[in-house]
Amino acid sequence: MSRSLAGKAAIAGIGQTEFSKASGRSELQLACESIKSALDDAGLAPRDVDGMVTFTMDSSEECEVARNLGIPALRYFSRTTYGGGGSCAVVMHAAMAVATGAADVVVCWRAFNERSGMRFGGAAMQGASMLPPFLDMYGPYGLLTPASWVAMQARRYMHEYGATNEHFGRIAVVDRKHAANNPGAWFYQRPITLEDHQSSRWIVEPVLRLLDCCQESDGGVAVVVTTPERARDLKQKPAVIRAAAQGAYDDGEMCTSYYRDDVAGLPEMAVVGNKLWKDSGLKPSDIQTAFLYDHFTPFVLVQLEELGFCKRGEAKDFATVERLSIGGELPINTSGGLLGEAYIHGMNGLTECVRQIRGTSVNQVPGVEHALVTAGTGCPTSGLILGSS
Amino acid sequence: MSERLAPTTTPDTKFFWDALKDGKLLIQRCKGCQTLRHPPRPMCPRCNALTWDTIEASGKGEVYSFVLPRHPRWPWFDETYVVALVQLEEGVRIVSNLNDVDAADVTIGMPVEAYVEHFDNVSLPQFRPRRNA
């Protein structure tokens, strides 16, 4: 028996709420709505569910979700760490549960009011006098936001490889181009040009402008994971897990891995990528489309390198708008990504890749056999390869 | 005088913050293998020793990376402030501020030196361009 998850689980359903800036309802309600929507999509009922995986950061308790949906018995429940870094790990955990028989039908979700409720980005620090311990070595000096943590690392990448903020801007243009064609995206029908990007204000100079940073959104996204055999008997074409991996690396921190010999890379993503290629038996040229987690544009370039789509330092030349857009060699973030569609901690990139496998995306890539999905970067992360069979 | 957001001192980091009150920037050193490490932590990743002492940093270093956070604005900082990742000559890196310099003149590789600034609520290492560099 092969010791990998390849072919042992599948995503049978996807669901979501609308994506907004003020949902007007509780995070628990968003979680329940998105899970019900995913079960309806699969053709399953809440009573069929016996497993749950969400993020450690998610505010909805498993038992509260179960008692709202009417899920009678849970046999497996777990959570994944490091925020958006766990957005593929939830599926990996669910797939492991399904593959081992710990559970038969596992729902994974992320639901939050990240814009109208508790915002990230240091807003909570505005009235604070003391720092949480993980910020002890950064907060006193004014490095208080995810944008600034990422920018310090990306600034070194720019120095070593000659990448500029304009190179990063191409990712924003690609995402907004795809979002412009997605009625569910916040930035539907609002594409941008590289000039728009270059004239947007600095958030962290000289690395990140406003249009390099993902949105803040309210919403919920859920998926249903079960065995490929069961998935084939349900309503939708299954998106089969060809590989799934988490990755952390030596001397790392949550978002401030500044102490390694090499600060310009994302070795966590290399850990993930190496495992994905090994377990799937695939190579980068076998991937037709990808969601590359785009909380901040520079790390999309670094991911292209760490995953082997191009060589170290070459992403600034590889990552052209043409290559990464619909019709190009490697269309990415076809729903608009976290910049263009919504920021649901990566889960909306995952569901878009499921649609690509099904052939139902608004920006459908022809003949998708394999889609690559990544999770939040700069921190411990995760990734998936989904297949059409 | 002014304030900064203060760290939550833990048993692992107390020595570092306490020494700054006395004007000293310390680097943790493993007693098992003499490896220096920063930020402070309880165990040496090289030899797993739990015993450690400290050396006082010379304060000399170079800018390894730096950024100018522009948004959001914070009550503790001027409109323009430089956050630098400094490579100390002893080999470890530390995040701090780089002061007494026009932000437009900061470059990666620039020689800098540490000093300790006593804010109302906390003492912090700060850096400035190295004199006689």
pLDDT at res. B132: 73
Give the contacts of B96 (CB within 8 A, at least 6 positions apart).
A141, B83, B84, B86, B114, B124, B125, B126, B127
The structure tokens 């955990």 sit at A93
The shortest C-alpha distance from A361 to chain B (Å) reads 35
Assess A108–B contact: CB distance below 8 Å, yes or no. no
| Mean pLDDT value of segment A211-231 | 98
Torsion angle, alpha carbons of B60, B63, B65, B66, to 10: 100
Nearest to A293 by CA among A368, A346, A341: A346
Strand partners, A54: A79, A109
Helices (H), A200-265: 228-232
Assess B19–A contact: CB distance below 8 Å, yes or no. no
Cα B119 vs. chain centroid, distance in angstroms? 15
Banded pLDDT at B1 (limits 50, 70, 90)? low
In this structure, what token pair is assigned to residue A302?
Answer: 């670094």
CB contact under 8 A, B77 and A142: yes
Confirm whether the ipTM is greater than 0.95. yes
B6: nearest CB among A131, A144, A151: A131
The shortest C-alpha distance from A196 to chain B (Å) reads 19
Task: Report the distance separating Cα A91 and Cα A147, nearest Å.
Answer: 27
| Mean pLDDT value of segment A241-264 | 97
Query: Which of the residues of A are catalytic?
Result: 293, 343
Banded pLDDT at A118 (limits 50, 70, 90)? confident
How many CB atoms within 10 Å of residue B8? Answer: 14
Percentage of chain A modeled with pLDDT above 90: 95
The shortest C-alpha distance from A118 to chain B (Å) reads 16
Assess B106–A contact: CB distance below 8 Å, yes or no. no
pLDDT at A216 over 80: yes
The shortest C-alpha distance from A82 to chain B (Å) reads 20
pLDDT at A1 over 60: no
CB contact under 8 A, A144 and B121: no
pLDDT at B4 over 80: yes
Mark residue B59 as left, alpha or beta (left: phi above 0; alpha: psi -120 to 50; beta: remaining).
left
pLDDT at res. A119: 87
pLDDT at res. B103: 96
pLDDT at res. B78: 93
| Mean pLDDT value of segment A187-216 | 98
Q: Residue A152: its chain B contacts at CB < 8 A? A: 65-67, 83, 85, 95
Q: What one-character DSSP code corresponds to residue A347?
A: H
pLDDT at A57 over 90: yes
Q: Residue B68: its chain A contacts at CB < 8 A? A: 202, 204-206
Give the contacts of A105 (CB within 8 A, at least 6 positions apart).
A44, A48, A49, A50, A51, A98, A224, A225, A226, A230
pLDDT at res. B131: 87
Q: Residue B13: its chain A contacts at CB < 8 A? A: 136
Banded pLDDT at B133 (limits 50, 70, 90)? low
pLDDT at res. A291: 98
Banded pLDDT at A128 (limits 50, 70, 90)? confident
Interface of B with A in 27-66 (CB under 8 A): 38-39, 45, 64-66
Q: Residue A263: its chain B contacts at CB < 8 A? A: 64-65, 85
Stated pTM of the model:
0.97
Percentage of chain A modeled with pLDDT above 70: 98
| Mean pLDDT value of segment B96-118 | 98
A267-284 residue pLDDT tens: 999 999 999 999 999 999
A258: nearest CB among B85, B97, B124: B85
Q: How big is chain B, counted in residues? A: 133
